[in-house]
A and B are shown apart, each in its own frame.
Chain A
Amino acid sequence: MSQEEKISRTILLIEDNEDHAEITQFYINEYADDIEVIWLSDGKIAIDHILEINGNSKRIYPWLILLDINLPKYDGHEVLLRLKSNQSLKEIPVVMFTTSNSNQDIETALKGGANSYIQKPIEPDEFASTIAKIIDYWSLNQHEIIVNNLNHHA
C-alpha cells in the first residue's frame, strides 16, 4: 500500500505555537499512522484554507479540527464561529485544544459550537494519552461516514 492509500483521515491543527504543533503532530502520528496532520499557524489562513476546501471538489474535508484559542489575527473563537456557521463545515468536529482553563473561554467555546474542549496537558505521559483518547473517541463516532458523504457530495 502507498502512503496515499494509507492515509484515510486528516486532522487540521490550527495552532500558532510551533513547539506545541510539533508535539501534537508527534503524538498523533505516533498513535495513528493513517492520519495526516495539516498544520496552520494563522487563524485567517486557516479560514481561507477551509473555505477553499468548500469550493474545491478536489480538496478533502478534514476528519477532525484541533483548534487553539490564542491565535494571532483571528482568535480561536472567531475561527470556531466561522466553522460552525458554514453549512457544510459545521459537521466537522472541532476540538478546542488550548492552555487556557478559564471558565469564560470554556463557555464561549461551547456556546460557539465546539464539540469538545481539552486543555493541553503538562504531564509528559498525559499528552500522548490525551491525543489517543481524542482519536479513539472520534473514531468510535463513525463520523467517517458523514465525512465521506460530504466528500462524495462535494
Chain B
Amino acid sequence: MFKKLKLKNRIYTGFIVVGLISLGMAVISVVAFYYANNNFGYLVQFSNKSHLAVAILRDVSEIQRQALIYTHEGHQSAANRVHEIHQRISAQIKQESQQDSKYFQDIVKHLDTYVKTFKQVQQQRTRQAALVHSEIRILASEAENHFLKHIVQASSTADIETQLNNQRILNSLLQIEKYAMRYFDTLDSKDVIFAKNALSQVQKSLQTIQKQDAAKPVSEHILQTIQFINNYEQVFLEAVQRTRGYLFLINVVMSAEAYEIIYRSQRIDRQLEQEMNKIQQRTLSLMQQVIIVIISSSIIFLILITVFSILISRSITIPIEKLTATFIALAKGSRLAKIPDYKIQDEIGALTEAAVVFKGKNKQTEELLAQSTQLTNDLERSNDELEQFVYTVSHDLKSPLVTSMGFIGIIQKLAAAGKMQDAIDKLDRVVSSNRRMGQLINDLLELSRVGRIETDKTTIDLNKLLESFYQNHLNQLTHTGFTLSFDSTLPTLYVNESRILQIFENLLVNALKYAINPNGSVINIGASETEEHQLIYFKDNGPGIAKEYHKKIFGLFYRLNNDKEGTGIGLAVAAKVMKFHNGSIWVESEPNNGATFWLKFPKINKETD
C-alpha cells in the first residue's frame, strides 16, 4: 500500500507516522506523570492526616493530665482546660474528611463517655470538696464547741475521772478530725478505719455519759454533741464514698476511655502509615513502570524509526539509486541498462520515463553508430579495394610499358650494333605489349562500368537466358570439346540481364581456358536454394584450384597461369556484379577434382529491402 503512494506522499506519510509516534510517546509520558503526580498528591494528603493522629494523642494525654490535676488539686482552671481540649479534639475530628470511619466514630464515642464521666467527677469532686472543706469542718467545730461547753458545764460537778474522761473524749474528737483530714490527703483507707474507730469510741463514750446522766437533766450540749458527731460521721462517710467514687471514675473509667482513644488514634496512625507505604510502593512501582514504559516505548520508537527509515529508503532511495545507476549507465551510452520498474506518477516516475527515452535514444545512437561503423568499414574496405585496385592497375599497366620500352632499348642497341634484322624482329614485341596495354585499359573501363544497376534489373528466367547463351557458344564448345549441361531447372531472378550474362561469359571463358579435362571436359550448370537465397552453380571437371588461391583468383588481374590469354579481370568483374546484386560469388574446389563456382542471389521478396 505504501508502494502505491506518490513520492511526496510517502515522505509526508513517513513524517506523519514519526510525528504520531512521538505524540503517542508524549501522551504516554504525560499520562504516566499525571498518575505519578496524583500519587504524590495522595502521599501529601496522608502525611497531613498523620498529623491529626499525633495531635489527638497529644491532646488526650494533656486532657487526662488536666483531669488528674483537677481531681487532686481541685483547680477549676484544670477542669476548664479539660473542656477546652475536648472542644478542640471534637473540632479537629469534625474537620477530618474520614470522620465517618469506624475508628473516628469510636473515638468520638469514647470521647463522649470520657467527658460525661468527667462531668460526674466534677460533680462528685465539687460535692466532696464542699463536704470536706465546709461541712465537716463546721460539724467538727460545732461538736467540739458543744462538748467544750458541756465540759465547762460539767466541770463544776464532775469528778476527776469524769473530767479525765471528758478530756479523752475531746482528744478523740480532735483525733477524728486528724484522721479524717489525713485520709483526704493520703487516701489511705487505714485512716478511714482509724477515724471510724475513733468515732465509734466517742459515740460510745457519749452514750455512756448520756445514760449516766439519765437521771439528771441531760446536758443540752451532750445531746447536741452526739447529734453533731452522728452527722459528722455521716458526712465523713459520704465524703469518703464520693472520694472513692470519683477516684474510681477518673482512674479507672476515664483512663480506660482515654486509652481507647489513644489506641484508636494509634491504629489510625498505623493505618495511615500502611496506606502511605502502599502509596509509596505504588508510586515507586508506578515510577518504575513509567520508566519501563518510557524505555520500552523509546525502544519501540527507535525500532519503528529504523523500520520506517528502511521502508522509506527501500521505497524512495532505492528507486532513486537504481535510477541514478541507470542514468549513469545510460550516460555511458549503454542501451542495455536495466530500467527499474516504477509505475507511480510522481517525480521518480517521470525520471523513469525519461530514462526509458534516454535508453531508446542510446539504442538509436548505437544503431546509428553501428550503421556508421558499418559505413566506415565499408568505406575503408572500398578505400582498401581502391588502393588495391590502384596498385593492381598501376602494376599491371606498367608491366607492358616496361616491356615496350625495354624492347625499344634493345632495338636501339641492336640497331646501333648494326643488327637490323634482329632489331626489326624485336619490333613485334613492342607492338604486342602495347596492344596488351590497350587491352588492359579496355578491360578496366569495362570493369568500371559495372556500377549501380538497380534501375536496370528485370525479372529474368535463367533457363531461357542460359539456353540462348548455350546456343551462342555452341560452336565454341564443340570446337574445344567441352560439354555444357543443365542439371536442373533454373529459377527466375530479378537481375540485370547483361551483367549476369557477362558473368557466365567470363566463367565459360575461364573454364575453356583452364578447366580442361583430358578425359572430357564437362561443364554443369544448376540451381539450389535456401530460405533466403537462390544459388546457381557453374561446375567444371578440370584440374581444380588449390585452396590458397580460392580468394586470390577473384582479385583484379590475378592469373594463376600467365600462359593463356586474358587479363585476369573476368572473375573480378563477376564478383563486382554479384556484389551489386547484393549477392556473392565463391569457388569450391580441390586439386584434381574440378571447381565449382557458386553464385548466391538474395530471394526476390528480399531485394526490395
Report which A residues bind B (CB closer than 8 A): 16-17, 19-20, 22-23, 26-27, 30, 41, 70, 72-73, 99-102, 120-125, 127-128
Contact = CB atoms under 8 A, between A and B. Distances in A.
Interface in B394-439: 394-395, 398-399, 401-403, 405-410, 412-413, 429, 433
Given A23-B406, A23-B407, A16 B398 contact: no
B562 A16 contact: yes
B561 interface: yes
Q: On chain B, which size bracket covers the interface?
A: 20 to 34
Nearest 10 A-B pairs (CB), nearest first? A124-B409, A23-B406, A19-B403, A99-B398, A120-B402, A124-B408, A122-B405, A124-B405, A127-B406, A99-B395
B263 interface: no
A17 B399 contact: yes
Contacts of B561: 72
A20 B413 contact: no
A102 B391 contact: yes
A71 to B, nearest CB: 10
Contacts of B391: 100, 102
Contacts of B429: 19, 22
Contact of A127 (B405, B433, B560, B562): B405
A123 B405 contact: yes
A52 to B, nearest CB: 22
Contacts of B539: none
Contacts of A30: 413
28 contacts: A17-B399, A17-B403, A17-B562, A19-B406, A19-B407, A20-B399, A20-B402, A20-B403, A23-B402, A23-B410, A26-B410, A27-B410, A30-B413, A72-B560, A72-B561, A99-B395, A99-B398, A99-B399, A100-B391, A100-B395, A120-B398, A120-B406, A122-B402, A122-B405, A123-B405, A124-B409, A125-B409, A128-B413
A153 B412 CA distance: 44
A68 to B, nearest CB: 10
B559 interface: yes
Interface of B is mostly: helix
Given A23-B410, A121-B405, 11 more contacts: A20-B399, A20-B403, A20-B406, A23-B402, A23-B406, A27-B409, A99-B399, A100-B395, A102-B391, A120-B406, A128-B413
Given A72-B560, A99-B395, A102-B391, A19 B410 contact: no
B548 to A, nearest CB: 9
Contacts of A23: 402-403, 406-407, 409-410
Contacts of A121: 402, 405
Contacts of A70: 395
B412 A124 contact: yes
A72 B433 CA distance: 20
A123 B401 CA distance: 9
Contacts of B399: 17, 20, 99
A99 B410 contact: no
B433 A19 contact: yes
A67 to B, nearest CB: 15
Contact of A72 (B395, B398, B407, B562): B562
Contacts of B409: 23, 27, 124-125, 127-128
A23 B487 CA distance: 49
Contacts of A19: 403, 406-407, 429, 433
A88 B96 CA distance: 140
Contact of A124 (B398, B406, B562): B406
Contacts of B403: 17, 19-20, 23
A48 B405 CA distance: 32
A69 to B, nearest CB: 9
A84 to B, nearest CB: 21
Interface in B172-201: none
A19 B560 CA distance: 18
A16 B413 CA distance: 24
A30 to B, nearest CB: 7
Interface in B440-467: none
A24 B562 CA distance: 18
